[in-house]
Amino acid sequence: MVVAPALAVIGSTVAIGLYMGWRYLRGERNNRVLVGFHLVLGVIGLEVTAMVIRGAPSGERALGALGPLAAVLTAVTLLSGLLVPLIAQPRPKLAGPALAAHAAVGAVAFVLYLVWAIPS
């Protein structure tokens, strides 16, 4: 299964994001190291997904239309996650909706990724 490493990385990113979202909803601040780890895993997951779509070093490829769409949505999720602190600084009341949008796009990307990866 050529997508297993990408699925593991993206699943870890989603798990950390869920944990951080739970802490946010409880009113607790997240550790900056955890936020950075979440970001780095997201970038790695996008890179591994791009490699699987283009072709792994072993020559295997995962085919299907949902992979590229999941990769684009993952890139949008990364961008929206990076924009949240920029939005929240001048307007703190927009932090919640911005994080909700980040989580929603990320959830759709993850579901698309699962649908694309599981049959492979």
50 by DSSP, 3-state: which? helix
Percent of the chain topping pLDDT 90: 57
Query: How far apart are the C-alpha atoms of 71 and 47, rounded to whole Å?
Result: 9
Residues in contact with 117: Cβ distance below 8 Å, sequence separation at least 6, in sequence order: 3, 6, 7, 62, 67
Query: How far apart are the C-alpha atoms of 118 and 40, rounded to whole Å?
Result: 24
pTM of the model: 0.86
Residues in contact with 105: Cβ distance below 8 Å, sequence separation at least 6, in sequence order: 73, 76, 77, 80
73-109 tens-digit pLDDT:
999 999 999 999 898 888 989 989 999 999 999 999 9
Mean pLDDT of the chain: 88
pLDDT of residue 61: 62
pLDDT of residue 110: 94
Count CB neighbours of 45 within 10 A: 27
Mean pLDDT of all residues in 60-70:
76
Mean pLDDT of all residues in 44-63:
76
